[in-house]
C-alpha cells in the first residue's frame, strides 16, 4: 500500500507541474495575442519590476504602475519617448544643471530646453599669439642756429615696430567671452620720426641780456610750455621688480604713496602735482622714470597683470583746470 501511495503522490506532482506550465504558456500566448509588451522598470534603488502592458509611452507605463517621479529624478528613455517589448525603463537622478533648468522653467521663464542648456555648456581656454603693430612716435627737434629755413624738415622717417602678444582666451558656444594678455614680446622696435623745426626768434632775442636778467634766469628754472591736446604714448606700470627694476614699497619720486587711478609718471616738463586729463580721466603727476621722456606717460596700476593688459595706448593729454 505504501508503494501505491507514493506512486499516486508522484503522479499528482507531475500533473500539477504540467498544469502550471500550461497556464504559463497560455498567459504568454495571451500576451502575444493581445499585443502586450514585456517591460522591465528599474527603480533608483536598483529594484527591477517586470510588467506586461499595452502602453508604449514611458509616462503612461509609469502611471499605469502607480510610479511617481520626484523632482530630482528622470527616466531613461525620457518620459515622452516610446518603448518596445523587452526594453528597460531606468529611473535615475537628474544632473545639477537639469535640476536648475527645471526650477527656472517652473518659475515661468519662457525658453526652450536647448536655450537653457547653452548656458551650461563647458568653457574652453586657448592660448593665442598675435603680432601687433607698435606705432612710431614723431619727435620734434628745434634748430635755432640753422642758417636756412628748416621748418618741418624730416631728419628721419618713422617706422612701425612689431610685438608678439600672447593671450589667454575663453570660449563658450564657440563665442569668445574673455581675452587676457599674458605676455608681450617686442620683435622689432619702432623707429621714431624726427622732424626739425626752426624756432622763431624775436629782435630782443639777439640783444645781450643784462646782468639782472641773467641772474633771474639762473635762479629761476625755465618753464616749458605744454601744448594741450597733444597725443601721448600711454603705458602702465606697477611696483613690481619687472616694472621698477626691483620691488619697491610703492613710494613715488615726489614722496607720495602711488595710488592706482591717481598716480602717473610723467616727463619733467610736468611739475609734480599737475592734474592732467588722459582719455577723460584725471590723474596727478607724482612720479618720474628713466624711460619717461618726450611724449610718454606711465599710469600706475595695482598689478603687473593689469599693466600688461593695459598695453600701449595713444591718447590726447590736456592740463586739467
Please check whether residues 126 and 113 belong to one and the same domain.
no
The last residue of a domain, from among 117, 147, 180: 117
Question: What does the chain come to in residues?
Answer: 321
CA separation for the pair 146, 175 (Å, rounded): 59
pLDDT for the residue 273: 93
pLDDT for the residue 148: 52
CATH code, domain with 111: 3.10.20
CATH code, domain with 184: 2.20.230.10
What the block records as the C-alpha cell of 28 is 504568454
Tell me the residue range of the domain where 173 lies: 121-202
Q: How many domains does the chain have?
A: 4
CATH code, domain with 263: 2.40.40.10
pLDDT for the residue 153: 79
pLDDT for the residue 4: 61
* Residue 217, in any domain of the structure: no
Count the helices and strands in the chain (H runs, E runs): 7, 16
CA separation for the pair 97, 54 (Å, rounded): 34
What the block records as the C-alpha cell of 87 is 526594453
> Mean pLDDT of residues grouped by 10 in the chain (321 residues)?
60 72 60 71 88 91 90 89 91 70 56 58 84 84 56 81 89 81 89 71 39 38 49 88 70 89 91 90 90 88 89 87 73
Please check whether residues 242 and 318 belong to one and the same domain.
yes
End-to-end CA distance of the chain: 131
Q: Coil, strand, or helix at residue 311?
A: coil
DSSP 234-300: EEEE-SSHHHHSS---SB-TTSSBP-TTTEEE--TTSPTT-EEEETTEEEEEEE--TT--SSEEEEE
Alpha helices by DSSP H, listed for the chain, are: 2-34, 58-64, 96-106, 113-118, 211-219, 241-244, 304-310
Please check whether residues 97 and 10 belong to one and the same domain.
no
* Residue 133, in any domain of the structure: yes
Please check whether residues 198 and 133 belong to one and the same domain.
yes
CA separation for the pair 121, 123 (Å, rounded): 7
Report the candidate in 2, 13, 91 with the shortest Cα–Cα distance to residue 47: 91
Amino acid at each position: 500500500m505504501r508503494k501505491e501511495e507514493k506512486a499516486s503522490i508522484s503522479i499528482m506532482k507531475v500533473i500539477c507541474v504540467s498544469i502550471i506550465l500550461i497556464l504559463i504558456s497560455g498567459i504568454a500566448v495571451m500576451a502575444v495575442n493581445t499585443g502586450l509588451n514585456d517591460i522591465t522598470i528599474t527603480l533608483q534603488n536598483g529594484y527591477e519590476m517586470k510588467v506586461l502592458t499595452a502602453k508604449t509611452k514611458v509616462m503612461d507605463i509609469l502611471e499605469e504602475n502607480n510610479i511617481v517621479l520626484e523632482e530630482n529624478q528622470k527616466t531613461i528613455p525620457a518620459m515622452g519617448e516610446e518603448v518596445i517589448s523587452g526594453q528597460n525603463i531606468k529611473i535615475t537622478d537628474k544632473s545639477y544643471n537639469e535640476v536648475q533648468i527645471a526650477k527656472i522653467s517652473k518659475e515661468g521663464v519662457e525658453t526652450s530646453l536647448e536655450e537653457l542648456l547653452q548656458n551650461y555648456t563647458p568653457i574652453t581656454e586657448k592660448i593665442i599669439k598675435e603680432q601687433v603693430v607698435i606705432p612710431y612716435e614723431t619727435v620734434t627737434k628745434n634748430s635755432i642756429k640753422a642758417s636756412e629755413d628748416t621748418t618741418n624738415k624730416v631728419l628721419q622717417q618713422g617706422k612701425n615696430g612689431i610685438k608678439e602678444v600672447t593671450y589667454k582666451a575663453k570660449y563658450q558656444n564657440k563665442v569668445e567671452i574673455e581675452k587676457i594678455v599674458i605676455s608681450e614680446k617686442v620683435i622689432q622696435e619702432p623707429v621714431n620720426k624726427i622732424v626739425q623745426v626752426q624756432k622763431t626768434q624775436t629782435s630782443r632775442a639777439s640783444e645781450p641780456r643784462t646782468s639782472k636778467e641773467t641772474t633771474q634766469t639762473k635762479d629761476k628754472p625755465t618753464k616749458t610750455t605744454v601744448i594741450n591736446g597733444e597725443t601721448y604714448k600711454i603705458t602702465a606700470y606697477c611696483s613690481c621688480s619687472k616694472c621698477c627694476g626691483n620691488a619697491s614699497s610703492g613710494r613715488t619720486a615726489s614722496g607720495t604713496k602711488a595710488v592706482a587711478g591717481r598716480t602717473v609718471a610723467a616727463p619733467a616738463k610736468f611739475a609734480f602735482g599737475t592734474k592732467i586729463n588722459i582719455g577723460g580721466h584725471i590723474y596727478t603727476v607724482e612720479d618720474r622714470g628713466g624711460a619717461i621722456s618726450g611724449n610718454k606717460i606711465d599710469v600706475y596700476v595695482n598689478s603687473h597683470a593689469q599693466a600688461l593688459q593695459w598695453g600701449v595706448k595713444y591718447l590726447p593729454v590736456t592740463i586739467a583746470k
